[in-house]
Chains A and B, each alone.
Chain A
Amino acid sequence: MTRLEITRWPIVRSLLIHRWPQVLITSIGLAVFLLAIVAGLLGTPVGNRNFSIVIVWILWWGLLMLLAVPAFGRAWCSVCPIPAPGEWLQRGAILRPQGKGLGLNLRWPRRLRGIWLQNAAFVLLCVFSLVILTNPALTGLVLAGFLLLALLTSLTFERRSFCRYLCPVGGFIGLYSQLAPIELRVKDPAVCASHSVKSCYLGSDAGYGCPWLVYPLTLRKNNSCGLCMECLRTCTEDNIVLQLRPPGADLGETSSRRMDEAFKSLIMLGSALLYSGVMLGTWGPVKLVGSRVGTAAWFGYAGGVLGMLLIVLPGFFLLAVAVGKWWSSATSLRRTFIAQATALVPLGLSAWVAFSLAFVFASASYVFPILSDPLGLGWNLLGTGAFPWQPYGMQIVPYMQIGVLLVGLIWACRTSRQIAGEELAPGAALRLAAPVSAFSLAVTLGLIGLLVA
């Protein structure tokens, strides 16, 4: 598959090589992030009038899921403010490498590598999501907790261990970045293989060694590349490129499929289903129970969420894969389970986009008042303090949701068949992919039922 190298355009290359545009955007993001923490902790307890809830869970979430992740993959990670203070302290610099930074610079424990911890962190957030998404003080505490955890991790472990192994958001951005029409790769592997300095991994006067602990020559998928552009800065051979590509080009990459990523796909798909039912459904009592943390009923709700994400949906998927394996005479159930879970990546992203469309378009008008009154104290700084709540595009949102879900489904079924065809003859591949596609169809019908019907 061919690519279009965009780093050969001087203006793009210049913007990416220089570190200041990235630092500028990150610094603005950090200021907004700190304001969100302050507003959450000190501002009004009314969620839709508080900067923290509206900016983080409506504006940022909407831009992330509807634009940034589908179009640019991990680009958000390159300007994310959460690891910035820790990274700056760790490096002892904000722009060019200079002097010595702080921290122990330990290697991340081998047993904790992979994205299992990110999966666990995301599931934990799901269990508490109804209160986190509606309680400004709790949102402020969670954001402050992220900042503190990232800071401590940067001062203890090497490079961006927090982003790579702990961040619950980074986990799913990495998963869905496989679908993005953009990638960073080496131009000519032979050049890297013969280059003994390895400045892209070890760093140089021009930049830092890969903060994401990736040797660019080994990059086959977008998952672990934070698009920070350090390797573009440090490569002395001009052998790193940022390029456009056909969307989803990583899905056919066979070498690095893992069980933690398979579970990430299932957890994300399950949580999209769950949120569509609980948050956009009509079951008021469930919402109430989900928000009353610590009560006996809430423990039942939490158990239901955990059961859905970790047992029910993975169980049905395992059943579909097992039927397909039996029908097609595929060899290994575990390997087939992991490989076929790749088909859930486009399905999951489409589910999240469809959910976010309804949520964000209905709540977007909350942004205008909080720009004038971030703490909800009655200010009117920009004259938009009295801007009324008004849902947008409610007539077209269902059509957009259906379109997105259909694209995700057709992409998932096609991916399932193609992955099955990696090891099986066409007829057997069809028999393996058919039950998995039936699973994808059932999930899509469920989402149509919850979101549109």
Chain B
Amino acid sequence: MSTLTEFGHRLSWPSVSAWRPDRRLAVVMFLAGAIVLVPAPRAPAPAERIIRIAASSYQYAPAIVRVHPGDRVTLELVSTDVVHGLYLDSYDLSLSADPGQTARLSFIADRSGTFRFRCSVTCGPLHPFMIGKLVVGTNWLGWRAAGLAILAAAAGLLWVRR
């Protein structure tokens, strides 16, 4: 333990012993906090949405589905070749459709963001890469990440050891 403590104090980057409150750090942290915490605008009123998705040859059509937060969404999965499935990330929902049959799944889109859906039934060599996306409202996580990236680049570029 004493060796590790000694090591921590002897590091020159990032230096533990040399750390002091820094105005630049405070500015960066404030901006990062603002990017993360700025509230998202209100979404339109929820509606009933029925979306038909055709699954075939390692792709979904449409590959990207857009709904509003709070919408009651019914997915109708139709397979046009072999048995395909649909697993929706984060919502942890899945369904599968036999060829020519329509499978249905209803849920409330109560989480905003972009979520992959992927085939859940082994359908061929490219099965693990059969992917679509559900976009619920605006993907604020992506926009916040982009804002943080700009801040990170500026901090990395300007913040040099003196």
Contacts and interface: CB of A to CB of B under 8 A. Distances in A.
Interface in B115-129: 115-116, 118, 120, 122, 125-129
Interface string B92-130: 100000000000000000000111101010100111111
Query: By DSSP majority rule, is chain B's interface helix, strand, loop, or mixed?
Result: mixed
B153 A410 contact: yes
Interface in A425-441: 426, 430, 433-434, 437-438, 440-441
A34 B148 CA distance: 46
B156 interface: yes
Interface in A380-428: 389, 391, 394-395, 398-399, 402, 405-406, 409-414, 416-418, 421, 426
Contact of A421 (B114, B126, B132, B160): B160
Interface stretch (A41-49, A117-125, A142-150, A258-266): A41-49
Main secondary structure on A side of the interface with B = helix
Contacts of A2: 7, 10-12
B156 A437 contact: yes
Interface residues of B, number: 51
A284 B89 contact: no
B63 A283 contact: yes
Please tell me the size bucket of the interface on A: 35 or more
A218 interface: no
Nearest to A57: B128
B25 interface: no
B149 interface: yes
A253 to B, nearest CB: 14
* 3 A-B pairs closest in CB distance: A284-B59, A413-B156, A453-B142
Interface of B: 3-4, 7, 10-14, 57-60, 63-64, 87, 89-90, 92, 113-116, 118, 120, 122, 125-133, 139, 141-143, 145-146, 148-150, 152-153, 155-160
15 contacts: A1-B12, A2-B7, A4-B3, A45-B125, A134-B127, A244-B7, A246-B12, A282-B64, A284-B130, A362-B89, A405-B145, A410-B153, A414-B159, A444-B149, A448-B146
